[in-house]
Amino acid sequence: MNAVITGLGVLAPNGLDTEEYWKATLEGRSGLVSVEGVAPSPTPVSVAGRLPDYSPDDSTPARLRIQTDRWTQMGLLCTEEALGDADLDLSGLDPYECGVITASASGGNLFVQKEIQNLYAKGPATVTAYQSIAWFYAATTGQISIRHGLKGPCGVLVSEQAGGLDVLGEARRALRKGSKMIVSGGLEAPIGPYALTCQSSDPRLSAVSDPHRAYLPFDRAASGHIPGEGGAILIIEDADSARERAAPRVYGEIAGGAATFDPRPDSGRPPGLARAVRVALEAADLSPDMVDVVFADGAGTVEGDRQEAEALVEVFGPRGVPITCPKTMVGRLYAGGASLDAATALLALRDQVVPPTIGVTDPIHDGLDLVLGAPREARLRTALILARGIGGFNSAVVLRREG
């Protein structure tokens, strides 16, 4: 059983659909902007990746708008795009063989903010009944499932920023158990006073106010990360059923993946990232030299970047593989980030070009072959995507172009 990706839907700070995002990414166009004043003091965040001129209200029916968070509305929109891209006629499929597995790291922040304000200012009776379903991590999965009548395996993975990759493994598992199609991916809408306050205790947040300098993974000037909103939805299908229905395109297959967890920081044992990479390659039956490009996690912190650089050099050798971090253009989208990276990797495999890492000028490690400033054309067959989540999550997924 092979799990293939047949459709993509993207919402990112530098592009409101797949092709707009991909074009901006190849051109190195950033979606990072100043959000001075959004976060209450003393939250240090003054730069974030925001969806430009995006109002989910335009695309979400009134009923759904009232009962959903912005993050869920984004998920519904990405799903529409992805299903359209896959040219999937759901009426031709058994609804019990179609599922939805998404990732979320913080749920419906903006909805929560509104209802907390109602609760404190006006009393419990003014809190909408929809609060019970709108904030919840599984809300996006549930609304996608209801809207499209997908009654097979449904779930949400909450493994911080690794979740956006973990869902691909979970989707593949569902296909192995007999499903034909899984709507997968992750999104996040973490930009608002309440959401940013929740993040404010995280020392990894960058306090730099210049959008061009605030998030510089693998650079000596790295100062932490900045948050962004958006993500991607991927349509994962059983390769045979995709072929049978003559799917218009197959972006690639999920060749292998692995998730590991870091040991306790004071244990003296190494972090779990290199192990995740090795196990993922083993699962894909590939040796390190067969990987053509790595989409790095790019923590943007001194410690996180060092750990990732060491893991990559350990597995691939010094300058053994091109490495890129297009997140430098959108920020860290939490559960949406790794799903977006997976979508980006598939577009890279399609067009045989590695998108650039922007802003980085002074890399921390000579052993990294970073694709800096401009895209690099290359013969790409296999891409490795890495994601790490706060608290010790590591995830690695290998995507392979067919043929």
Partner 1 sequence: MNRAARPLCFAIQPIFVTRPLGTPTPENPWGDHQRTRETMPEFTLQDIIHIMRENVGADESVDFDTDISNTTYEELGYDSLAVMEIMSCVEQNFGMRIDEEVTTDLKTPGETVTYVNKILTAVV
Question: Residues interacting with partner 1, by CB under 8 A?
Answer: 61-67, 121-123, 125-126, 128-130, 132-133
- For residues 70 and 68, give the distance between their C-alpha atoms in angstroms, rounded to a whole number: 7
Of the pair 123, 203, the CB lying nearest partner 1 is at 123
Question: What is the chain's alpha carbon radius of gyration, rounded to the nearest angstrom?
Answer: 20
- For residues 336 and 363, give the distance between their C-alpha atoms in angstroms, rounded to a whole number: 26
Residue 56 Cβ, how far from partner 1 at the closest point, in Å? 14
- For residues 354 and 344, give the distance between their C-alpha atoms in angstroms, rounded to a whole number: 9
Residue 94 Cβ, how far from partner 1 at the closest point, in Å? 24
Of the pair 142, 298, the CB lying nearest partner 1 is at 142
- For residues 342 and 384, give the distance between their C-alpha atoms in angstroms, rounded to a whole number: 9
| Both tokens assigned to 189 | 């809408």
Residue 108 Cβ, how far from partner 1 at the closest point, in Å? 15
Of the pair 123, 403, the CB lying nearest partner 1 is at 123
Residue 154 Cβ, how far from partner 1 at the closest point, in Å? 17
CB of 311 closer than 8 Å to CB of 281:
no
Q: What is the DSSP secondary-structure string of 87-152?
A: T--GGGS-GGGEEEEEE-SS--HHHHHHHHHHHHHH-GGGS-TTHHHHSSTTHHHHHHHHHHT--S
Residue 208 Cβ, how far from partner 1 at the closest point, in Å? 40
> What's CA 12's distance to the chain center, in Å?
10
Residue 64 Cβ, how far from partner 1 at the closest point, in Å? 7
CB of 279 closer than 8 Å to CB of 261:
no
Of the pair 125, 246, the CB lying nearest partner 1 is at 125
What burial class does residue 279 get, using C-beta atoms within 10 Å of its C-beta: 0-12 exposed, 13-18 middle, 19+ buried? middle
Residue 142 Cβ, how far from partner 1 at the closest point, in Å? 12
Closest among 300, 321, 335, 326 to 398, alpha carbons compared: 321
CB of 108 closer than 8 Å to CB of 135:
yes
Of the pair 129, 246, the CB lying nearest partner 1 is at 129
Residue 146 Cβ, how far from partner 1 at the closest point, in Å? 10
Backbone angles phi, psi at 15, to 5 degrees: 180, 130
Of the pair 61, 203, the CB lying nearest partner 1 is at 61
Of the pair 64, 378, the CB lying nearest partner 1 is at 64
Of the pair 122, 243, the CB lying nearest partner 1 is at 122
DSSP-assigned letter for residue 264: P
Residue 189 Cβ, how far from partner 1 at the closest point, in Å? 20
Of the pair 62, 246, the CB lying nearest partner 1 is at 62
3-state secondary structure of 292: coil
